[in-house]
Amino acid sequence: MSQPESAVADAQAGGRAQESLAALAERYGLRRAIARPSLPAYLRQLWDRRHFIVTYATSKNVSNYSTSALGQLWQVLTPLLNAAVYWLMFGVILAQSKHIQNYPAFLITGVMVFTFTQRTVTGGAKSISGNLSLIRALHFPRATLPLAYAIQELQVLGWSMGVLIVLVLVTGEPISWLWLLIPVALVLQFVFNLGASLFMARIGAFVRDINQLLPFILRTWLYASGVFYMITERTAGLPSALRWALEFNPAAAYIEFMRDLLIYQRFPERWAWVTCTFWAVFAVIGGFWYFWRAEERYGRG
């Protein structure tokens, strides 16, 4: 007789009437069908599925634009059109371009960098709630989904960065050796985005109204991140606590880091390195742990 059959026989016979079902399961080596694995085991499961994650992200990119005439060109056109609208509003009507050198490059860099984080967070918030049929049909580490959405947006950013570099050159900025640090900036931002995506994936799985609130939260974050203006100039007269919060804003830090490399031709200051690194490490560790804690609850109910 197998161990599961022995456990059932013991329970039915009443031979161990005082022993709980949990103790019986433990004695015979049984475990829940859906149980949260240990953190090291969970990481190994994700690594084993790395090829699926990349393939899933790539297929999502292709399918998202398969019905449009311009196809994947919209991955680049969307942030460019947004930048054009913002330039009209802030650069022309509100005359920000008079106070900031090379405002077109300044604005486009801010829009591209912030859009990377915005789209990753939005995709992460829907990654679990939008794939319930897949989650209920197959057993796999649920972090696969927000990770795939983050990689999907990284793939989109690759095209956007190519266009951004061309536009920066067209606006008169010279090529610099500092551009070699652009991959470092993108890796730091990607790690932060991944952590934020995991965090929002758990919230989106259990708080369905977050998808209605998130656009307003992200729009506020956009205006507070120095996409259209220089934070150091606008925060001069603010209370110290509010000024510190704006300058320590992760999106603002990644935007300023990229502008230093692309436009200002200067090595990013120490505060930028510290802020960007801190947010990347804090977000990915905190977000991953927070998501993993609810692993066995995703897809239920």
Structure tokens at 40: 């090291």
Instruction: Please report where in the chains the tokens 């049984």 appear, as a residue.
Output: 30
- Say if residue 300 is exposed, middle or buried (CB neighbours under 10 Å; 0-12, 13-18, 19+): exposed
Same domain, 103 and 227: yes
Structural domain range at position 60: 38-297
C-alpha span between 82 and 97 (Å, rounded): 17
pLDDT at 80 over 80: no
The total number of residues written for the chain in this structure: 301
The mean pLDDT value for 130-144 works out to 88
Q: What is the pLDDT of residues 17-76, one digit of tens each?
A: 445 665 655 665 555 556 678 899 999 999 999 999 999 998 887 777 666 666 667 777
Q: What is the pLDDT of residues 50-63, one digit of tens each?
A: 999 999 998 887 77
pLDDT at 97 over 70: no
The mean pLDDT value for 239-264 works out to 88
pTM score > 0.85 for this model?
A: no
Structure tokens at 249: 């804003």
* CA atoms lying within 13 Å on the CB side of residue 191: 16
C-alpha span between 48 and 26 (Å, rounded): 28
pLDDT at 156 over 90: no
Same domain, 26 and 173: no
Classify the C-alpha dihedral 224-230-231-234 as positive or negative: negative
Same domain, 95 and 222: yes
Same domain, 69 and 137: yes
Same domain, 134 and 200: yes
Identify whether the C-beta of residue 149 lies closer than 8 Å to the C-beta of residue 127. yes
C-alpha span between 45 and 269 (Å, rounded): 39
- Say if residue 47 is exposed, middle or buried (CB neighbours under 10 Å; 0-12, 13-18, 19+): exposed
Same domain, 14 and 121: no
Identify whether the C-beta of residue 61 lies closer than 8 Å to the C-beta of residue 155. yes
Beta-strand runs (E) in 43-198: none
Q: Which of 115, 112, 113, 110 is nearest to 230 (CA)?
A: 110
C-alpha span between 151 and 140 (Å, rounded): 18
Same domain, 4 and 91: no
For residue 246, give every residue at least 6 positions away whose Cβ sits within 8 Å of its Cβ, in sequence order, or none. Answer: 224, 226, 231, 235, 238, 252
pLDDT at 244 over 60: yes
Instruction: Looking at mean pLDDT, say which of 113-117, 188-192, 232-236, 268-272 comes out highest.
Output: 188-192
Same domain, 3 and 80: no
C-alpha span between 79 and 101 (Å, rounded): 21
For residue 290, give every residue at least 6 positions away whose Cβ sits within 8 Å of its Cβ, in sequence order, or none. Answer: 198, 199, 202
Same domain, 53 and 145: yes
Same domain, 55 and 168: yes
Domain count, the chain: 2
